[in-house]
Amino acid sequence: MTTQKRRIGILGVLAAAAMIPACHQEATTQTAAQQDGRKLQRQELHTRGLDLQEIDINQDGQVDQRVYTKSGVIQVAERDFNFDGKVDMVEFYENGVHSRDEIDLDYDGIVDLVVVYENGRIVRKEYAIDFEGNRHGVQLFDAQGRRYEIQRDTDGDGTMDTIETYAEGDAQPQRIQKVSKPTSTP
């Protein structure tokens, strides 16, 4: 792979992350984001019994990508974008169809962006704008890949407290709603 193609691949990941709002973030009422807690959740990596292909993209003698397959069908890919020997992105596949990405955008070993796919289409993005893995927002997408909701944790307490809903194709939210947080009773 040429340096130009490698840069385009890395820039593509960064461009996807740049589409995430960089200000404070949003959330929904009783969503999976609230139930999961404060940190972005990593999927368990199962590679036992899989065939491994190791690739040295920049030809420096170090492995930059590991691709795990079963009967020739990709199951998992680990990628090192900045060639420091650490995994920056893990791609998961179900029956050869892309199902999930876990991406470390600032190369510190902590997942900052999780992208979930169904039938190869993005349906959910979860992100941490503090680059510490603390979930700040969740974006939900319809079957055509259009964003229809953003959930944000605007106060950093790990609970999604704001919901933005979007009409089909609109760039601006149609509705912004603050979600009441439960109060404890003595």
Q: Work out how many domains the chain is built from and give that number.
A: 1
Domain annotation covers residue 184: no
Within a domain: 129: yes
Is residue 139 domain-resident? yes
Residue 170 lies in a domain: yes
Give the pLDDT confidence score for residue 171 in this predicted structure: 83
pLDDT for 104 beyond 50 = yes
Query: How big is the chain by its Cα radius of gyration, in Å?
Result: 18
Q: pLDDT per residue over 33-72, tens digit each?
A: 334 457 888 888 899 999 999 999 999 999 999 999 999 9
In the prediction, which pLDDT does 135 show?
A: 87
The answer to whether residue 146 sits within a structural domain is yes
Is residue 183 in some structural domain?
no
Q: Quick check: is 136 in a domain?
A: yes
Long-range contacts, stretch 119-122, CB < 8 angstroms, 24+ apart? 121/145
By percentage, how much of the chain surpasses pLDDT 70? 77
Q: How far is CA 130 from CA 39, 45, 105, 111, 148, in A?
A: 11, 25, 11, 11, 24
Q: What is the mean pLDDT of residues 3-15?
A: 38
Residue 185 lies in a domain: no
Write the CA distances from 135 to 32, 34, 39, 116, 170, integer angstroms.
12, 10, 5, 15, 25
Confidence of residue 185 (pLDDT cuts 50, 70, 90): low
Domain enclosing residue 64, as ranges: 3-178
